[in-house]
Copies of this chain bind each other. A is one copy, B any other.
Amino acid sequence: MAKKPHVVILGAGYGGMMAANQLQKKLGTDRANVTLVNKHDYHYQTTWLHEPAAGTMHHDKARVEIRKVLNPAKINIVQDTVEQVKTEEKQVVLKNGDDLSYDYLVIAVGSIAETFGAEGVYEHSYHKWTLDGARELKDQIEFQFAQYRNQEEAEEQDLTFVVAGGGFTGIEFVGELTERVPELCEQYDVPREKVRMYVIEAAPSALPGFDPELVEYAMNLLEHRGVEFKINKPISEVQEGKVILKDGEEIAASTIIWATGVRGNPIIEDAGIEANRGRVKVEPDLRAPGLDDVFVIGDNSLIINEETERPYPPTAQIAMQQGVKAGENITNLIMGGTPTKFEPEILGTLASLGGKEAMGTVKARKMYGRSALFMKHMSDNRYLMKLGGLSLMLTKGRNPL
């Protein structure tokens, strides 16, 4: 009898978890061995990170132990950091453990911040949209308030928060920040008017890709809560305590949050797989071009929306669907079938704006306020239900009302 194939999944984000979940369901342990490699022993909800980052949600709510939602008897869970992928040798080099050989590989290692050529981003801004990154940012925000109160000569920039990027992530974060700031002002006896919040966007509009009415709704709401927008203003450099715009303007701020977009994890490019900003333009069945045994999903993949002829933005929604499809296609291959085409189904796009506010589209219908937040929370809950059933939803789910 031939050796059982070894499926290795790199990364336990939305894509990796759904791929593992699918393989656990569809493929008997007598058919294949499946290994999931992840840096931490937990999975976290990337799309919720703006909340622990602003301090409006405890970070533990946004994470779940991997072995609580995957069956360790069916999936071999390895906590380690991926150093390198060698596609010719069919090997994965880990930081601490032994190399792993694979027959099928799923690359789902996520993304890092894209700087778009601005200097100093990695050194001087909060740019890590990870659970640890969110915790650091929360601590920093609180520290600035504490310092402002305790210092003899407090400086305005201590309570200036600059969000670089007025896209999805930047807007969701600043929405939470506007909810948190009044609490912090009360807690630290700081007058509200001392706090300044900027959103700086290089494109001609905030929230590119959203309907103009929705953009206006979000901007009006956030401006009412004290956010100042600088639109059509690319940033050239971040220095310690300030951002410098291309037009020469400088904004002094002790806390600079980078949220202009992402590029795929450098592991992709290091592996010699052709990529654009670290994203691989995958085949219709989600395999990397020329590599029959490597599936690339989530933020590491790039797929084209056939209607608009432009790439889909990297979202959790697509990553999850790709994870399921990668799992299905690997099952097909192992069972002697053929992989099938991935077709994303975009159910909607909803951005939270802090408190009970949100906006976006569901099946092309515009939604605002509590209705939009309701739909967003229901969709969060649906994911938890798929991932870990009713018990996960009950412990980590979101009350929709």
Q: Could you mark each residue 319-331 of chain A with 1 if its beta carbon is under 8 Å from any beta carbon of chain B, else 0? A: 0000000000000
Within 8 A of B (CB), among A377-401: 390-391, 393-394, 397-401
Give the one of A370, A371, A398, A401 with max B CB within 10 A. A401
Q: Contact: B399 with A374, CB < 8 Å?
A: no
Chain B positions within 8 Å of A394 at CB level: 370-371, 374, 401
- Separation of A374 and B391 alpha carbons in the complex (Å): 10
Q: Contact: A371 with B391, CB < 8 Å?
A: yes
A97 CB → nearest B CB, Å: 38
Q: Could you mark each residue 348-374 of chain A with 1 if its beta carbon is under 8 Å from any beta carbon of chain B, else 0? A: 000000000000000000000011001
A370 CB → nearest B CB, Å: 5
Point out the residue from B370, B371, B390, B399 that lies within 8 Å of A371, measured CB to CB. Answer: B390
Q: Contact: B391 with A401, CB < 8 Å?
A: no
**A374 nearest in chain B by CB position:** B394
A371 CB → nearest B CB, Å: 5
- Separation of A400 and B374 alpha carbons in the complex (Å): 12
Within 8 A of B (CB), among A270-305: none
Q: How many copies does the complex hold?
A: 2
Chain B positions within 8 Å of A391 at CB level: 371
Q: Could you mark each residue 230-263 of chain A with 1 if its beta carbon is under 8 Å from any beta carbon of chain B, else 0? A: 0000000000000000000000000000000000
A64 CB → nearest B CB, Å: 15
Chain A: how many interface residues by the 8 Å CB criterion?
A: 12
**A369 nearest in chain B by CB position:** B394
Chain B positions within 8 Å of A400 at CB level: 397, 399-400
- Separation of A371 and B394 alpha carbons in the complex (Å): 7
Q: Contact: A374 with B401, CB < 8 Å?
A: no
Point out the residue from B390, B393, B399 that lies within 8 Å of A399, measured CB to CB. Answer: B399
Chain B positions within 8 Å of A398 at CB level: 401
A395 CB → nearest B CB, Å: 9
Point out the residue from B370, B371, B397 that lies within 8 Å of A401, measured CB to CB. Answer: B397
- Separation of A400 and B381 alpha carbons in the complex (Å): 11
Chain B positions within 8 Å of A401 at CB level: 393-394, 397-399
A39 CB → nearest B CB, Å: 29
**A390 nearest in chain B by CB position:** B371
Chain B positions within 8 Å of A371 at CB level: 390-391, 394
Chain B positions within 8 Å of A399 at CB level: 399-401
Chain B positions within 8 Å of A393 at CB level: 374, 401
Chain B positions within 8 Å of A390 at CB level: 371, 374
- Separation of A339 and B325 alpha carbons in the complex (Å): 48
- Separation of A394 and B357 alpha carbons in the complex (Å): 13
A375 CB → nearest B CB, Å: 9
**A398 nearest in chain B by CB position:** B401
Give the one of A374, A393, A400 with max B CB within 10 A. A400
- Separation of A370 and B397 alpha carbons in the complex (Å): 12
- Separation of A249 and B400 alpha carbons in the complex (Å): 49
- Separation of A393 and B373 alpha carbons in the complex (Å): 13
- Separation of A35 and B400 alpha carbons in the complex (Å): 35
- Separation of A401 and B377 alpha carbons in the complex (Å): 12
A328 CB → nearest B CB, Å: 28
Name 5 extra pairs, CB < 8 A, besides A370-B394, A399-B401: A371-B390, A374-B394, A393-B401, A397-B401, A399-B400
13 contacts between A and B (CB under 8 A): A371-B390, A371-B391, A371-B394, A374-B393, A374-B394, A393-B401, A394-B401, A397-B400, A397-B401, A399-B399, A399-B400, A399-B401, A400-B400
